[in-house]
Chain A
Amino acid sequence: QVQLVQSGAEVKKPGASVKVSCMASGYIFTDYYIHWVRQAPGQRLEWMGWINPNYDGSNSAEKFQGRVTMTRETSSDTVYMELSGLQSDDTAIYYCARGRTKVRGGGIAYWGQGTLVTVSS
């Protein structure tokens, strides 16, 4: 069965960076896009961007451009999301999620368990 297992909770100081990992199993890693979505306390879910594990291409929402880096490691079927210049409003649960279809526009089907990132001085 499809599984996405994320790294553990992080506490960071303002201005720092955080790198969250997402290890995939149960399907061919390079066949499906991985998306990143975050959920801040009391806020709606927010889509951050995608990475194509096949060719390592990625794209992020304009809000996060210049601050987010998405990479992948095919040897371990793992994708990473690094967010820099953290501020208190970056405190959120960060989810990785697999695309529903092999094309980018198919939406999301499977979610990781989430990683809580807390930004606090």
Chain B
Amino acid sequence: EIVLTQSPGTLSLSPGDRATLSCRASQNVYRNTLAWFQQKPGQAPRLLIYGASSRATDIPDRFSGSGSGTDFTLTISRLEPEDFAVYHCQQYGSSPWTFGQGTKVEIK
């Protein structure tokens, strides 16, 4: 199974800052089938990015995804107050689908 490792575990930033989150896979992710989800306390995850770099419906353009193979990045260009949350990466190209352990973006 593909193990996804996210870094850092916690990112302490201020509104308006740029956030860069990393997701590294233990082996190549098939056809870059890598997604990013945002999760707020008490809520289900929300899809942000699929196919490594395609924004999901209604996701603001301050969210962008990049990367290929084993190294992927989620970038939030300018943090808004509502962006402080936990972010999960997920690969869905190989069974079993797997998730990273999450990166928490907190207010500094």
Residue contact B45 to A105, C-beta cutoff 8 Å: no
B interface, over-half SS: loop
Residue contact A109 to B56, C-beta cutoff 8 Å: yes
Stretch at the interface among A13-21, A24-32, A39-47, A83-91: A39-47
Select which of A35, A59, A105, A113 is within 8 A of B33 by beta carbon: A105
A interface, over-half SS: mixed
B34-78 residues with Cβ-Cβ distance < 8 A to A are 35, 44-47, 50, 56
Query: What bracket does the count of chain A residues touching chain B fall in?
Result: 20 to 34
- Count of B residues near A, CB < 8 Å? 20
Smallest Cβ-Cβ distance to A114: which chain B residue: B44
Given the interface contacts A105-B33, A111-B44, does A45 sit within 8 Å of B96 by beta carbon?
no
Given the interface contacts A100-B47, A108-B47, A109-B47, does A45 sit within 8 Å of B88 by beta carbon?
yes
